[in-house]
Structure 1
């Protein structure tokens, strides 16, 4: 299907646009596949995030070359069946479009020492979870509030947060306006705004037929409304990162001008690597910096990103916290052996059993719990029945789990059978709860009884593909 003529006409005078190269790359139907590895799980030397490197070729995922703007991002030579890779289900990596990984450079520009800081970050339009998991890695001591207003999509978001395994992600499902009660609360807000989607034409040719100038204008108004709703929650000197997968000026540079007219802000300029292919643009009226990704110039899809620093005085008005009930001493005694660093964690009762939270986040989580619809926070540990923990899948995939629970190491075919929720053999493993591990990565739980092995892999996570 040819590209919309109205889109091509609208881009003629846009910085970096080259019609012939743009049309050729879309006609080629080339597919670029990239992943971002989980630095908290992937067994490798822990190098600083500023170190670009290729991992050893012995790694099971065929990483071919690094994404130049993301230290943990890599291209693959071809797209494998991720569904049939146990490491994907173990949360060892996240499949993410390479252009959107540039968020890392925006953060490094404004927070050069971000790794040690206890920042509070809102990922407002978060599903399916690419930026949320990236933020969790870039702010390991921070608190990431990951929101998705569409309830069905928030389930996918929560599932990906479980696989990622970090206790610093809170998944919520709220409208942008619901956050207004948290005035001056967030150090950073990321708005990967709903858009007309022209940047995804190569990846999803079906989107071409759905594109229209009318939809571009509709999206632009929606983007303004979302930003205005969430603006009061950003601290003074806080950073708003705005992104779309659209090429349209109405959804990108014009939005920056609109923010600049409405609010006192400072534009963020990123120092691009020479020859990166990323195009720096300026908004038409105020010259605010934005960064365009064209698939004929970079190895990735169409993308736009910009950052602004809030220079307005912001009041702080925090609502009354909700009630979090700590687990009893008896309950904590059951759970503590399953935790790697119990002294840093708190066990809290929830409808689904016991949830484990960071002690340093308790006050914030209680407040968020009182204001928002919280779908997931911390790590679900499981239920205690007759002084025994029935462990949750979340705990198996978490990075707070102790290293010494009973476990069964399995080969790939057995791992896939387990992930399909089939019966597997346990060999001479000890009776009771055991982790199932593939290449020393946790996949989930089984319970070994006298005459059978019960597979506790979640029904809704199971592989249906054979």
Structure 2
């Protein structure tokens, strides 16, 4: 990678934990760290996923692992099945921050404010109580589509994906127990992973990002309950985007800083803001096995008032139609089935209770799990159902060899003799990839066209 410009490194002088020689050396080394985080509802362990690699745990994440080398994720059907998410290890510390600041024995309402592409949203979902409600928001429409796809691949049934400006959430009032704001930033913490970003860095952009971060936080904080927690993070080293934002928050909003307990063996650097002495945490790639990252936690003063329920009604599926859907699902009778534009949506009870309020105030791209469309005779199952954790375990399924699994994921023609006719799950290593419909003389591949593998090649 190109050398780090003095215009950048000069801004780091005096930062807590900054070692100029070690910092420059680790960037010059070309070392690449690869880490993944498992979807615990789809896989029981890391060994079966990457038997050819050495794996070691990410110390601050229950389901995070370092891989000894980077495999071809594109050509791993388990990736497309949602068995794991490829995520930078330092950012997985969000899990530890949530564990230290939230009561995870209770269902919570959480907002991932700047959520695309979905790494932190899937981490939050796996960390919270299973009956919690997570709203994953992305302001940019194209990135909201990517976020929605990644949430669907993860398979969770308690996530709402929204496409809103942060200021829109103030319409809900003090609603969320947790807001995570992984704010857009100048990106200096990812220079090692993305060397081309070095040429795009400038101090003017740092200041522009700092102003944008302040606007995002100011717009969203009215939606945080009194007593609720704000977790703020960036992948920037800049004081203006880290410590100075902590001081700005404490000077302008009814917040208190929440210090975290660190294991000294993690080599995470505690930093204090210059005015309020608020505690934040810096990750340097020469000291942790990961990229540059910053995180800080705050609690809103006061006691939360009871939130008024919105009286809107959902269009629930009639009982006779519910009976047709139940064989496809493993969910309890408490789950609700909603009819939306001729499609059946699976909702958790908590989501069904809250969805009318969210629908009234936000643009919703995805809620719960899309089961499919009801025809006169059958359910036409949706891809979301195939990848969800809601799906019944005893549906017709065919386990594919690697070559056939990749052919399916490319949406190529399949030759599958001697299997039962009708809707069939295509699987690899016991994990659902999607649907095919077996007819007397052919197999129709229902893998979504927009998700298909376009690259030629095979796993490395």
Which deviates further from its counterpart, 300-309 or 59-68? 59-68
Q: Deviations over 1:184-241 (max 9, x none)?
A: 1000000000000101111001101111111101110110111010111101111000
Distance 1:281 1:118, change over 3 A: same
1:118 equivalenced with 2:118 (yes/no)? no
Secondary structure of the residue aligned to 2:333 is: helix
2:315 counterpart residue number: 325
1:310 equivalenced with 2:300 (yes/no)? yes
1:393 equivalenced with 2:383 (yes/no)? yes
8 Å Cα contact 2:396-2:425 kept in structure 1: yes
Secondary structure of the residue aligned to 1:344 is: coil
**Number of residue pairs aligned between Structure 1 and Structure 2:** 454
Distance 1:364 1:58, change over 3 A: closer
1:337 counterpart residue number: 327
Structure 1 unaligned blocks of 5 or more: 45-54
8 Å Cα contact 1:331-1:387 kept in structure 2: no
2:74 counterpart residue number: 83
Q: Deviations over 1:126-174 (max 9, x none)?
A: 0000000001100122111000000000011000000100101110000
1:104 equivalenced with 2:95 (yes/no)? yes
Among candidates 118, 135, 145, match of residue 145 of structure 1: 135
1:196 counterpart residue number: 186
Q: Deviations over 1:250-307 (max 9, x none)?
A: 0000000000101232211111112211100000101101000000101100100000
Q: Distance in 1 between matches of 2:232 and 2:121?
A: 14
Distance 1:289 1:464, change over 3 A: same
Among candidates 239, 255, 258, match of residue 248 of structure 2: 258
Shift of 1:331: 2.1
8 Å Cα contact 1:263-1:312 kept in structure 2: no
8 Å Cα contact 1:188-1:239 kept in structure 2: yes
Q: Distance in 2 between matches of 1:369 and 1:63?
A: 46
Q: Deviations over 1:311-368 (max 9, x none)?
A: 1466677584554200122321221110102412111011261111012321111211
8 Å Cα contact 1:172-1:374 kept in structure 2: yes
Secondary structure of the residue aligned to 2:196 is: helix
CA RMSD of aligned residues (A): 1.5
Distance 1:214 1:312, change over 3 A: farther
Q: Deviations over 1:89-115 (max 9, x none)?
A: 00000000000000011111112x41x
Q: Distance in 2 between matches of 1:322 and 1:371?
A: 12
8 Å Cα contact 1:319-1:371 kept in structure 2: no
Q: Distance in 1 between matches of 2:363 and 2:10?
A: 43
1:379 equivalenced with 2:369 (yes/no)? yes
Shift of 1:6: 2.2
Q: Distance in 1 between matches of 2:230 and 2:313?
A: 30
Among candidates 235, 238, 241, match of residue 245 of structure 1: 235
Structure 2 unaligned blocks of 5 or more: none
Which deviates further from its counterpart, 315-324 or 347-356? 315-324
8 Å Cα contact 1:120-1:143 kept in structure 2: yes
Alignment TM-score, normalising by the size of structure 1: 0.95
8 Å Cα contact 2:108-2:177 kept in structure 1: yes
Q: Distance in 1 between matches of 2:191 and 2:301?
A: 37
Q: Distance in 2 between matches of 1:90 and 1:80?
A: 16
Distance 1:273 1:223, change over 3 A: same
Secondary structure of the residue aligned to 1:106 is: helix
2:86 counterpart residue number: 95
Alignment of 1:32-43 (within 5 A): 32-43=33-44
